[in-house]
Amino acid sequence: MSTVNPPVVFTQDELGWVSWIDPLPEAELTERHYAGLVDRARAKSEYFRLLVRDPEVLEARTKTDKDIFYNVADGLPRAERELAAAATSRYNGCIYCASVHARFASTYSKRRDDVQRLLDEGIKADLGERWNAVVKASVALAATPIAFGPDNIAELRRAGLDDAEIVDVVNGASFFNWANRLMLSLGEPSK
Amino acid sequence: MMGTQDIIDTLAGIEPGSTLDAIRARRLQARENAQKSYLALFEPIDAGDFSLAERAAVAAFVTGLHGASPVAAFYRDKLAATAEGAPLLDAINAEIERGRTSGPYGAYPAGPLSIENKAGLIYRVSPERKPVLGARLVAALEHAHLLVFHPRDAASADMKALLAAGWSATGIVTFSQLVAFLSFQVRVVSGLRTLAAASA
């Protein structure tokens, strides 16, 4: 059992993650598990070796994730999909997920300081019309009961998003309501 | 095994040939794998660690906590149609009413973020319904409520509570995936419905 040193602020630094229940040992992984991991290299990750206890669900989840974020043949720029993920994670309180996707948002947007303000100031940080609309829509979707409504659509359209790009926001933000709950409840981040 | 009906399209009311159908088709892998996720959770190869009735009960509870919607109605009907689940329907409905609140809330690790801590309902199943639900589902509903409304409060002790109630590590993983997947599905459906209505 490694020593856990939990982060107490939102950060773009790289964090580790420690499982609270036993992941499968790498030596016990079969081809069924590797199919679930999708990328064989993920066998090195404690998080994925935990989720691979249900390989069929992990495989489908991973492929959903990859298409929502990496398929940039058209639609919303990657930076803004990552912004939706980071904003959702900031609002739900997932320090680990926020760190990963804030880093990606910074990498793809070259707006590291604005991304850091989202982490430091929270979801009310003023990041300009377009980013504000994406953050606000993501936050409205993350609320329970869901608060996403016609005003969010109108705001995204005013900011220049077309319907396909709005669906990318909906997919990206919704997906992080999936990811945040796994990361927050099955283990914890460590510096 | 693959159902022909795409569950998100069905719940969001997306018709073949519509604008949203075409937009969803541009993320075909995501669309197909959201569907495969649903099938892997609700028509699994092996339900030994998490029974089909338990899955339906947790799904009805989780989606019901989000408020009335076509998604909540779908999973309530699924529970009603499950032989061992149907007798649980009244208890689940009553627990949904007791569990409804607004999220996300919860506490951060002690430090600068503590000023953002937000208190909220710590839900526990009503003692009178524990006998009909049984220890496994009582623990599952209590943990599901935490995942829905205040996931940042989750702690290692919650895993121990599930293990103590008879859940295996593999069962906990599938159960957590089911609650988290539904948190995704209910939002995608809501977002797509809102967009369709705004475009009508």
pLDDT at B10: 97
Interface test with A, best of B173, B182, B193 (most A CBs within 10 A): B173
Going from N- to C-terminal start, the domains of chain B cover: 7-199
Alpha-carbon gap, residue B13 to B2, rounded angstroms? 20
B198 and A150: CB-CB below 8 Å?
A: yes
Q: What angle do CA A127, A129, A134 make, to 5 degrees?
A: 80
Mean pLDDT along residues B107-112: 96
For residue B170, the tally of other CB atoms under 10 A from its CB is: 19
Give residue B28's Cα distance to chain centre. Answer: 24
ipTM score assigned to the predicted complex: 0.98
Give the helix, strand, coil percentages of chain B, each rounded to 5: 70, 0, 30
Determine which of B20, B24, B27, B28 to mutate to test the interface with A (most A C-beta atoms within 10 Å). Answer: B27
Residue B118: DSSP 8-state: B
Residue B2 has pLDDT above 90, yes or no: no
Q: Is pLDDT of B3 > 60?
A: no
A19: nearest CA partner in chain B: B156
pLDDT digits (tens, 9 = 90+) for A110-128: 999 999 999 999 999 999 9
Kindly give, in sequence order, each residue whose CB lies less than 8 Å from that of residue A45, ignoring residues fewer than 6 positions away.
none
A132-179 pLDDT, tens digit per residue, is 999 999 999 999 999 999 999 999 999 999 999 999 999 999 999 999
pLDDT at B12 over 50: yes
Closest partner residue to B188 among A60, A163, A170, by Cβ?
A170
Identify whether the C-beta of residue A101 lies closer than 8 Å to the C-beta of residue A13.
no
- Please give the model's pTM, rounded to 2 decimal places: 0.98
Chain A to chain B Cβ contacts (< 8 Å): 201
Q: Which of the residue ranges A1-10, A64-73, B26-35, B73-82 would you say has the lowest mean pLDDT?
A: A1-10
Domain range list for chain A:
16-69, 76-190
User: Inter-chain contact B23–A163, Cβ cutoff 8 Å?
Assistant: yes
Closest CA relative to residue B60, chosen from B13, B3, B99? B99
pLDDT confidence of residue A3: 78
Cβ separation A54–B170 shorter than 8 A: yes
CA angle B66, B158, B102 (to 5 degrees): 25
How far is residue B149's CA from residue B183's CA, in Å, rounded to a whole number? 10
Please give the Cα distance from B57 to A135 (Å, whole number). 33
Tokens matching residue B22 = 């075409």
Question: In this prediction, what percent of chain B has a pLDDT beyond 70?
Answer: 98
Q: Is the Cβ–Cβ distance between A95 and A10 less than 8 Å? A: yes
Across the interface, whether the CB atoms of A179 and B180 are under 8 A apart is answered yes
CB–CB of A185 and B158 under 8 A?
Answer: yes
Cross-strand partners of A19: A187
Counting beta carbons within 10 angstroms of the beta carbon of residue B5, is it exposed (0 to 12), middle (13 to 18) or buried (19 or more)? exposed
Is pLDDT above 60 for A1? no
Q: Which residues of A touch B172 (CB under 8 A)?
A: 21, 186
pLDDT at B142 over 80: yes
Q: Best mutation site among A71, A151, A186 for testing chain B: the one with the most B CBs within 10 Å?
A: A186
Q: For residue B147, what are the contacts with CB-CB under 8 A and spacing of at least 6?
A: A181, A185, B62, B154, B176, B179, B180, B183
Beta carbons of B19 and A163 less than 8 Å apart: yes
* Structure-token pair, residue B35: 């569907």
Strand residues in A25-97 grouped as ranges (E): none
Tell me if B197 sits within 8 A of A150, measured CB to CB: yes
Residue B174 has pLDDT above 90, yes or no: yes
The SS3 call for residue A123 is coil
pLDDT above 90: residue B178: yes
Chain B residues in contact with A9 (beta carbon < 8 A): 111-113
- Beta-bridge mates of residue B176: none
> pLDDT tens across A15-51, in order?
999 999 999 999 999 999 999 999 999 999 999 999 9
Query: What are the CA-CA distances from residue B134 to residues A164, B54, B139, B165 (Å)?
Result: 45, 11, 9, 9
What homologous superfamily does CATH list for A76-190? Answer: AhpD-like (1.20.1290.10)
Task: Answer yes or no: is pLDDT of A2 > 90.
Answer: no
Q: pLDDT band for B4, please (50, 70, 90 cuts).
A: low
Tokens 């989202």, located at residue: A118
The token duo for A96 is 């680990």
